[in-house]
A and B are shown apart, each in its own frame.
Chain A
């Protein structure tokens, strides 16, 4: 789409003007252009693309990132992405402009790097301290043991201060508002272990927990890093989807010239040119031109609407046949696209009540651990009247119960499951989406664009005489209207040869006409060829004699739609079809797919209200939809999926994005989600078993640092291995 918006060739002239004025280095900052290159895959591609780009005048440097399949270009400010794309297409690579503002790659990178650095420091320090501890456990005594302990302390204290900072920060922000989270017991355990170990070391005692404190930090950071990576991958893919839609519009200047501007720069009253195939950037009123509009993303209706001067249009509608000029009546936040956001915000407030498995485990776990440690401290103090022994044992209890395995239990499983679903073409955007998906028992599908591909299919080819078909094909071939394209495809596939027609012209908004054997022939809207408008999507052919003949179209099913619905029903889920389209179209599709419950002509509010009602009945609803009219319903549902072809607003409102065309991964995703939740619960159980064995020993005062290290490492490793079984 970007190629259509090629700017007027002003770039060359600006270059000439800039030359004599001062040094070029002081010119305004270099433009950074990001291009998405879905086709690059090898070393030759990298070299070709980088060469092609850096040979262009004005480009300073170009670097391909093969992992992200992107090229980053530093160039003079007047170089535009639209100039670079044809160059890359010339060397054989498909390229799309990415909105570099929407990518924010540098910021997310920094957080990941920071976490990786802390993980490395914790790993390095814990290995060194562990080596020293092993020699203590294997029998170092007296001065040697004290020296080893002091060296361990010297490594541990700065390492913990740096590596465990995220935990300190999180725990503090939770405590400040009077709440407990997973990080509070972690911080307490680390701090208490360090304090008692230092105290013991200064009294040349036998037990020090420096190694335990560091390994704990290391394992927990590993969990955090996995969690971060999973989310970063999903976020960067989601950002890339929205960055592909660079919001530009063609504004008409006073003297009738077109200029390309960002949509944000449009104001009320501006005249905007909409080319065929383009989407309305703002709400407005048509002032010039005739065409047809596709409103399916907004309303779910598949029938194109006739457009003529005076008609009000909303942002998001697609212009089909002729160029239109509109006068903007609402821009930016006031457009109907944005007003939908209020509906979404209301619907979303219901969902935030979901507590993740990890949170509910933490709620049980955090107070339990604190009470247990406090009780063992009190008990031992009352028994021996010795603060040192009591504190030592309380520290041992905290270290041994510390949620090492719990911290890994959820991220390890989510990473494995998300990775598996990503390979199947599903992007998990929300952290708890998998857990919620596992509970689903009702699936609500939208029709247009979700179960159907949004491309029409000719249904009554066999009803027509071959001469009619030949005329229709000849007329349809010259038009880019979706119905004409579908007719051409079907007729070509049936081996029809187009008739000889002269003076073929397309009349925007009506159809195409021409001269055939001295008669005027027309293919187009019912009223234009003199027929009655039916309820079904149709194009009518008039050959100058007899009645006009209808060509009926139905929406083609998306690949995998039948299989997905059947598999979901087989798995015991109730499938509901909910659409804004006409009753006839919805009923036909429901019957075709074997769906018994369906709702037609539903307004956006109706959709979300029905979903809320289903949830109130105790159902866990999965909503699959793509249109603007689905956004509120997507946000209201327990969990939601939208295809990558959906509008940005719908993708933002949904938890999972389907990257391919195929719907078949949906039932499989439910299956994987159920398995993942089972693994998470298993992991919690494994961690509990380890605690049940180790905690009594710790409370009894029999725990040693060696035991703590063994219990911690073995439970973390079992939990990670259990999670890997999902892949």
Chain B
């Protein structure tokens, strides 16, 4: 059972990374316009260079 010493911190760390990622997406307003974002991905307008 010694392996738990590594496994538990690792699993908590990975879960925490997921949580921080989610918090980042909420903060930056990525759920404000779900419908628009699903359409924007189809636009080829900024395919060659990023939006200035």
Residue of A nearest to B16 (CB): A124
List chain A residues, Cβ under 8 A from B45: 47
Of A115-123, A439-447, A452-460, the segment with at least 4 beta carbons within 8 Å of chain B is A115-123
Known: A113-B26, A128-B12, A128-B15. A46 touches B35 (CB 8 A): no
Question: What 0/1 readout, one digit per residue, does chain A (113-155) give for beta carbons within 8 Å of chain B?
Answer: 1001100110010011001000000000000100100010001
Q: Is the CB of B39 within 8 A of A43?
A: yes
B6 on the interface (CB 8 Å rule)?
no
Of A61-69, A216-224, A261-269, A323-331, the segment with at least 4 beta carbons within 8 Å of chain B is A61-69
Question: What 0/1 readout, one digit per residue, does chain A (42-76) give for beta carbons within 8 Å of chain B?
Answer: 11001100000000000000001111100000000
List chain B residues, Cβ under 8 A from A121: 19
B50 on the interface (CB 8 Å rule)?
no
Known: A109-B32, A144-B1. A46 touches B19 (CB 8 A): no
Selected from B18, B26, B36, B43, the residue in CB contact (under 8 A) with A67 is B36
**Interface size on B (CB < 8 Å)?**
23
Q: Is the CB of B22 within 8 A of A46?
A: no
Q: Is the CB of A120 within 8 A of B43?
A: no
Selected from B1, B18, B23, B33, the residue in CB contact (under 8 A) with A68 is B33
B8 on the interface (CB 8 Å rule)?
yes
8 Å CB interface, A78-121 against B: 109, 113, 116-117, 120-121
List chain B residues, Cβ under 8 A from A116: 26, 31
8 Å CB interface, B11-41 against A: 11-12, 15, 18-19, 22-23, 26-27, 31-36, 39-40
Interface residues on A, range: 20 to 34
The CA-CA distance from A358 to B11 in the complex, in Å, is: 40
Closest approach, in angstroms, between the C-beta of A55 and any C-beta of chain B?
Answer: 14
List chain A residues, Cβ under 8 A from B26: 113, 116-117, 120
Closest approach, in angstroms, between the C-beta of A329 and any C-beta of chain B?
Answer: 45
List chain A residues, Cβ under 8 A from B31: 116
Known: A65-B33, A66-B35, A67-B35. A43 touches B8 (CB 8 A): no
List chain A residues, Cβ under 8 A from B15: 124, 127-128
Residue of B nearest to A144 (CB): B1
Q: Is the CB of A46 within 8 A of B39?
A: yes
List chain A residues, Cβ under 8 A from B33: 65-68
B3 on the interface (CB 8 Å rule)?
no
Closest approach, in angstroms, between the C-beta of A63 and any C-beta of chain B?
Answer: 9
Residue of B nearest to A105 (CB): B32
Q: Is the CB of A47 within 8 A of B36?
A: no
Residue of B nearest to A64 (CB): B36
List chain B residues, Cβ under 8 A from A128: 11-12, 15
Residue of A nearest to B12 (CB): A128
Known: A116-B31, A124-B15. A46 touches B40 (CB 8 A): yes
The CA-CA distance from A114 to B29 in the complex, in Å, is: 12
The CA-CA distance from A68 to B39 in the complex, in Å, is: 14
Closest approach, in angstroms, between the C-beta of A128 and any C-beta of chain B?
Answer: 6
The CA-CA distance from A65 to B22 in the complex, in Å, is: 21
Q: Is the CB of B23 within 8 A of A120?
A: yes
List chain A residues, Cβ under 8 A from B11: 128, 131
Residue of B nearest to A113 (CB): B26
List chain B residues, Cβ under 8 A from A66: 33, 35-36, 39
Residue of A nearest to B5 (CB): A147
8 Å CB interface, A223-274 against B: none
Q: Is the CB of B43 within 8 A of A43?
A: yes
Q: Is the CB of B36 within 8 A of A124?
A: no
List chain A residues, Cβ under 8 A from B27: 113
The CA-CA distance from A609 to B48 in the complex, in Å, is: 69
The CA-CA distance from A67 to B37 in the complex, in Å, is: 9
Selected from B8, B32, B35, the residue in CB contact (under 8 A) with A151 is B8
The CA-CA distance from A47 to B31 in the complex, in Å, is: 20
The CA-CA distance from A127 to B1 in the complex, in Å, is: 22
Q: Is the CB of A65 within 8 A of B36?
A: yes
Selected from A43, A144, A151, the residue in CB contact (under 8 A) with B40 is A43
Q: Is the CB of B34 within 8 A of A67?
A: yes
Closest approach, in angstroms, between the C-beta of A186 and any C-beta of chain B?
Answer: 24
Closest approach, in angstroms, between the C-beta of A548 and any C-beta of chain B?
Answer: 58
Closest approach, in angstroms, between the C-beta of B42 and any C-beta of chain A?
Answer: 5
Q: Is the CB of A120 within 8 A of B22?
A: yes
Closest approach, in angstroms, between the C-beta of B11 and any C-beta of chain A?
Answer: 8
Q: Is the CB of B39 within 8 A of A42?
A: yes
Closest approach, in angstroms, between the C-beta of B10 and any C-beta of chain A?
Answer: 12
Closest approach, in angstroms, between the C-beta of B4 and any C-beta of chain A?
Answer: 8
Q: Is the CB of B18 within 8 A of A43?
A: no
The CA-CA distance from A211 to B43 in the complex, in Å, is: 45
List chain A residues, Cβ under 8 A from B22: 120, 124
Selected from B23, B32, B43, the residue in CB contact (under 8 A) with A46 is B43
The CA-CA distance from A47 to B35 in the complex, in Å, is: 14
The CA-CA distance from A504 to B23 in the complex, in Å, is: 69
List chain B residues, Cβ under 8 A from A47: 43, 45
Cross-chain pairs A/B with CB under 8 angstroms, 26 sampled = A43-B42, A46-B36, A46-B40, A47-B45, A65-B33, A65-B36, A66-B35, A66-B36, A66-B39, A67-B32, A67-B35, A67-B36, A68-B33, A109-B32, A113-B26, A116-B31, A120-B19, A120-B22, A120-B23, A124-B18, A124-B22, A127-B15, A128-B12, A131-B11, A144-B1, A147-B4
The list of the 10 closest CB pairs from A to B, nearest first, reads A66-B36, A43-B39, A67-B35, A65-B33, A66-B35, A124-B19, A43-B42, A67-B33, A43-B43, A120-B22
Q: A67-B34, A113-B26, A120-B26 are in contact. List 19 more A-B contacts (CB 8 A).
A: A42-B39, A43-B39, A43-B40, A46-B39, A46-B40, A46-B43, A64-B36, A65-B32, A66-B33, A66-B39, A67-B35, A113-B27, A117-B26, A120-B22, A120-B23, A124-B18, A128-B12, A128-B15, A147-B4
